[in-house]
Amino acid sequence: MAKTLEFRGIGKSFPGVRALDNVNFKAEGGKVLALLGENGAGKSTLLKILSGDQPASEGEILVDDKVTAFHSPHDAQAAGISVIYQERQLMPSLSVMENLFAGALPKGKLGLVDKNELYAETQKIISEFGLDIDPAEEVGRLSIANQQMVEIMKAYRRDSDIIAYDEPTAPLSEKEIELMFKVIEKQKAAGKAIIYVSHRMNEIFRITDEIVVLKDGRQVTTLQTKETSEAELIKSMVGRDIGDTYSNLRRNTPTDDVILEVRNLSTPKVKNVSFQIHKGEIVGLAGLVGAGRTEVARALFGADPITGGEILIEGKPVRFRSPREAIDAGVALCPEDRKEQGLVMYRSIADNVAMPVVNYLKKGLGFVDRGQAATLAERAVADYAIKTPTIFKLVAELSGGNQQKVILGRWTSEKVKTRLLLLDEPTKGIDVGTKAEIYQKICDLAREGIGVLFISSELTEVINLADRIYVMRGGSISGCLPRAEATEENVLTLAMADETGDAGKRKEGRA
Amino acid sequence: MKQQDSFFQKRIKPIIQHKVFTLVCLYIAMVLIFTVWAALRGTSFLKVAIFRNILNSLVVSSFLTMGAGCLLIAGHLDLSQAAIGAFGSMVLASAIKGWGLPWFLGVIIALALCAVFGALNALLVSKLHFPSFIGTLAMASMVKGLMYLFSSLGNNGIASNINFVDKTVTFIGTGAVGGIPVGVIIMLIFFIIYGLIISKSTFGMKVTLMGGSPVAATLAGINANTIMLILFINSAVMGGVAGIFNAARLSQGALNALTTNQFTGLTAAILGGISFGGGVGGMGGAFVGLLILNTFQIGMGIVGVNPFWVNVFSGLLLLIALSFDFLAQQRQKRSLAH
């Protein structure tokens, strides 16, 4: 019993912005339809309309050829539609089973919740997914990847006929992505209509049948996945030919001078990590989500306490007690969670750029030198081609890519003197065009002699950008791959292998 | 034509859009209403003496507002402020009466003690990670207990208020220069200084950024713990200043000093547009907020509304102000949701 979903002439206007304009397409049951477009192209808005979160300004949605109107997320769910958002909508202090069955808890005697049945039903779904999660575990205690899987299971549990995934793989590692793809295949076989939003080309080619490309709120084209190519897709998304992103980069050349040396670094979540970064070198840090990559970066930045080991910057041992001390020593961090940790969202670009150097922007009596702050921000906007009418715009109003550029601009202003740049998932959720710009900037910074630590879950990106890759697994480094040996297969082997497996041999390759 | 446009855009528009502008409009409207209302009742409201009265009534609460407001901008609360201030007033009174010290030494000792309590608050919140609501609530109880113990020393174990006589202190509390009460002059000077610190200084910038996102601010090199220490000490010391003014007006260190003002500081700050979540607002708004609150109460008294009802209406006023704040936040979020 295949369902169909059709958008007919959908438009959406916000004050001063035309977010969607005349979008028409049909998602058929038993097929996966990809929704592709740069950030700000209107994908999220379309999903919000589908989920009943926001009304469309014009046009209609048809489910099984019948016009359907949603006034709330509840209406949409009742019509058999589930949308899995990028931002997880879970209750962290409740258990996995309570989250899965919220609103449909099985009742036993006296109208109380039947915990046994709840547990069993949840276990059944978890097993179908092939995951190893305890149904009674508090969701907030799960890894981010598993939380995302819970979100996906929630939609699966509702057994909706139309399921939309909004960049579901962003927080997942390869292993979970595989599991999730199997679930999608199963849903597809069951005749469900699936809409899949992602920036990752390999995923789109792997699981989708049809691709709708959006640009600036308009539908550019609709293509059959089998009949198109990555180059064609990128071209229609950005509206120009950006060629092969990586081969066009002006590359850096690593020097022999060591900027950072880490010896047996340990924290509560990291064990005996040792590695080096040279001046002008981009060092990749790969591994599954939860392997301890973020924790290494945070420890180097003085954000988390260190329990053992040594950090040397240009040969001098350092031990930072706060990010402030790290910044003063020339270390900078672009944190994983841009919105929560990187930026003060409801403040201007100028304020966000000035943050680490507020103390140096003094003029007499401790007043802020606004002129100097403006100069810094203007330069960041120019250097990174940040799309904004003024430096006084709130960063919350910028797209994800431009927000990341603000953070980069902050760390590379002339007042900070960054020598070592720690980038934690710097391109997460950023569109292809802006990604290419950021890659070039990272290379440019390395060319200036800055050492870069590049953490990313997107394998193609680490492999193509890094001069060397360290791979982490379970809080330790499991190996190091020089650029020549960096293939997806090699990285994954190190990221997932057992202690005694291939990883043992690889360790010899460590620089 | 174009130049006019840009002049309007640059100079006038920001003023109109500023929160304080709305508050000032609200205030003017309130004054007009009371003027008409009072006239209908056969009395008058729009008189210099009444406004001097209103300003004078702000003094004690104003210091609480400045302390609580700065802290609230950084995203924290201090529920122990009034208790600490009352303790300060007791210390000042016994320094003058019991220990025979000159008044300024009494003030220094009182404020130093307040600062210690403030530092302890900061420690509870920044090092032991208590939510400021809980940490300072516990502190309020402890400070109150200590104050009673202190006042019962050498007094057969019975806690009591301490009366004192000091000409200078009484002058600061009740005197006037050129017809303007000394307290009002000091209050206005403090407001200007605090306003400049919050809106123009590098420290103020760090405070608002930290209020906007403590995690992001820390990771960008703003030392949140140092700022919290300064602000909690400031809040306690300002509580002490309020306590001292209270004592100076009554010539008495009172055990229940500031109990009626306990939440006035916080209320005025919120009414004045300092967002409860932190990161937004300034001292100008806090001042107007306080002005609105007290003008409302005094105006209601003049037109002869039952004082019990006045309390009810004050609460409603706060609710209305908060819902405006809430709606504005919702609108901002929605307009950014696409």
Give the residues across from A36 on adjacent strands. A213
SS (H, E, C) chain B: CHHHHHHHHHHHHHHHHCHHHHHHHHHHHHHHHHHHHHHHCCCCCCCHHHHHHHHHHHHHHHHHHHHHHHHHHCCCCCCCHHHHHHHHHHHHHHHHHCCCCCHHHHHHHHHHHHHHHHHHHHHHHHHCCCCHHHHHHHHHHHHHHHHHHHHCCCCCCCCCCEECCCHHHHHHHHCEECCEEHHHHHHHHHHHHHHHHHHHEHHHHHHHHHHHCHHHHHHCCCCHHHHHHHHHHHHHHHHHHHHHHHHHHHCEECCCCCCCCCCHHHHHHHHCCCCCCCCCCCHHHHHHHHHHHHHHHHHHHHCCCCHHHHHHHHHHHHHHHHHHHHHHHHHHHHHCCC
User: Hey, what are A232's tokens?
Assistant: 């064609």
pLDDT digits 0-9 by tens, A137-165: 999 888 878 888 898 898 888 888 999 99
Confidence label for A215 from pLDDT (cuts 50, 70 and 90): confident
User: Hey, what are B220's tokens?
Assistant: 């960008």
Contacts of A356 in chain B (CB under 8 A): 220-222
Query: Higher confidence at residue A493 or residue A61?
Result: A61
Q: Provide the pLDDT for residue B291.
A: 93
ipTM for the complex shown: 0.85
8 Å CB contact of A301 and B219: yes
A507 C-beta neighbours (distance < 10 Å), count: 12
Nearest to B102 by CA among B175, B187, B164: B164
Q: Provide the pLDDT for residue A243.
A: 55
User: Hey, what are A97's tokens?
Assistant: 């089973």
CA dist B213 and B15 (Å) reads 26
Do A507 and A274 meet the contact criterion of CB atoms below 8 Å apart?
Answer: no
Mean pLDDT of A185-203: 88
Q: Which of A324, A345, A356 sits opposite B213 (nearest CB)?
A: A345
Give SS3 for A261.
strand
Query: DSSP for A67-115?
Result: EE--SSHHHHHHTTEEEE-SS----TTSBHHHHHHTT-PPB-GGG-B-H
Distance from CA of A393 to the nearest CA of B (A): 12
B35 C-beta neighbours (distance < 10 Å), count: 15
B332 touches A at CB < 8 Å? yes
Q: Provide the pLDDT for residue A40.
A: 65
Query: DSSP for A188-253?
Result: HHTT-EEEEE-S-HHHHHHH-SEEEEEETTEEEEEEEGGG--HHHHHHHHHSS----TTTTS----
Q: Provide the pLDDT for residue A207.
A: 92
Distance from CA of B202 to the nearest CA of A (A): 5
Q: Provide the pLDDT for residue A502.
A: 42
8 Å CB contact of B221 and A45: no
Give SS3 for A447.
helix
B205 touches A at CB < 8 Å? yes
- Which residue's structure tokens are 């802020």? A368
Confidence label for A380 from pLDDT (cuts 50, 70 and 90): very high
- Give whole-number Cα distances, B163 to A189, A391, B22, B90, in Å: 87, 58, 44, 9
Q: Which residues of B132-163 are buried (b: 16+ CB within 10 A; e: fewer)?
A: beebbeebbeebbeebeebbeeeeeeeeebbe
Contacts of A45 in chain B (CB under 8 A): 338
pLDDT digits 0-9 by tens, B81-125: 999 999 999 999 999 998 989 999 999 999 999 999 999 999 999
Do A230 and A205 meet the contact criterion of CB atoms below 8 Å apart?
Answer: yes
Distance from CA of A26 to the nearest CA of B (A): 23
DSSP classification of residue A473: E
Give the residues across from A173 on adjacent strands. none
Q: Provide the pLDDT for residue A195.
A: 94
User: Hey, what are B247's tokens?
Assistant: 């004592």
**Is the confidence at residue B338, as pLDDT, over 50?**
no
Looking at residue A125, its amino acid is I
For A410: left if phi > 0, alpha if psi spans -120 to 50, otherwise beta; the answer is alpha
Mean pLDDT of A329-346: 93
Q: Provide the pLDDT for residue A315.
A: 93
B101 touches A at CB < 8 Å? no
8 Å CB contact of A344 and B203: no
**Is the confidence at residue B9, as pLDDT, over 80?**
no
A347 touches B at CB < 8 Å? yes
Distance from CA of A364 to the nearest CA of B (A): 10
Among A421-430, B16-25, B112-121, B244-253, which is the least confidently predicted range? B16-25
Do B79 and B140 meet the contact criterion of CB atoms below 8 Å apart?
Answer: yes
**Is the confidence at residue A504, as pLDDT, over 60?**
no
A449 touches B at CB < 8 Å? no
**Is the confidence at residue A409, as pLDDT, over 50?**
yes
Query: Cα(first)–Cα(last) distance of chain A, in Å?
Result: 58
8 Å CB contact of A14 and B205: no
**Percent above pLDDT 90 for chain A:** 47
SS (H, E, C) A372-426: HHHHHHHHHHHHCCCCCCCCCCEHHHCCHHHHHHHHHHHHCCCCCCCCEEEEECC
Query: Higher confidence at residue A217 or residue B170?
Result: B170
Torsion of CA B153, B159, B160, B163, to 10 degrees: 20
User: Hey, what are B231's tokens?
Assistant: 């602000």
CA dist B161 and B151 (Å) reads 7
CA dist B231 and B82 (Å) reads 15
A37 touches B at CB < 8 Å? no
User: Hey, what are B30's tokens?
Assistant: 């309130």
Q: Looking at chain A, which residue has its C-alpha nearest residue B333? A: A396
- Which residue's structure tokens are 């210099």? B48
User: Hey, what are A315's tokens?
Assistant: 């040969």
Do A330 and B203 meet the contact criterion of CB atoms below 8 Å apart?
Answer: no
Do A281 and A290 meet the contact criterion of CB atoms below 8 Å apart?
Answer: no
pTM over 0.90: no
Q: Looking at chain A, which residue has its C-alpha nearest residue B218? A: A323
pLDDT digits 0-9 by tens, A248-306: 888 999 999 999 999 999 999 899 999 999 999 999 999 877 789 999 999 999 999 99
Torsion of CA B238, B242, B247, B253, to 10 degrees: -60
pLDDT digits 0-9 by tens, A289-305: 778 999 999 999 999 99
pLDDT digits 0-9 by tens, A19-50: 888 999 999 889 999 998 876 678 888 998 99
Spell out the domains of chain B, with CATH numbers in brackets. 49-301+308-321 (1.10.3470)
Q: How, if at all, do strands A270-278 and A282-287 pair?
A: unpaired
The DSSP H or E segment spanning A58 is strand A58-63
CA dist A486 and A492 (Å) reads 10
Contacts of A361 in chain B (CB under 8 A): 202
- Give whole-number Cα distances, A418 to A188, A251, A284, A306, A415, in Å: 49, 20, 18, 22, 9
Q: Looking at chain A, which residue has its C-alpha nearest residue B198? A: A367
Contacts of A396 in chain B (CB under 8 A): 336
Give SS3 for A33.
strand
Contacts of A410 in chain B (CB under 8 A): 220
8 Å CB contact of B215 and A340: yes
pLDDT digits 0-9 by tens, B272-294: 888 777 778 889 989 999 999 99
**Is the confidence at residue A423, as pLDDT, over 60?**
yes
Looking at residue A299, its amino acid is A
B4 touches A at CB < 8 Å? no
8 Å CB contact of A355 and B336: no
Confidence label for A15 from pLDDT (cuts 50, 70 and 90): low
Q: Provide the pLDDT for residue A16.
A: 57
Q: Provide the pLDDT for residue B333.
A: 66
Q: Which of A303, A362, A396 sits opposite B202 (nearest CB)?
A: A362
Count of pairs with CB atoms under 8 A, one residue in A, one in B: 91
- Give whole-number Cα distances, A79 to A37, A69, A461, A481, B21, in Å: 27, 10, 39, 50, 48
Q: What's the distance, CA A345 to chain centroid?
A: 18
Contacts of B213 in chain A (CB under 8 A): 340, 343-345
Q: Looking at chain A, which residue has its C-alpha nearest residue B208? A: A347
A132 C-beta neighbours (distance < 10 Å), count: 8
Q: Provide the pLDDT for residue A355.
A: 95
pLDDT digits 0-9 by tens, A233-246: 877 876 655 557 78
Torsion of CA A347, A352, A356, A359, to 10 degrees: -60
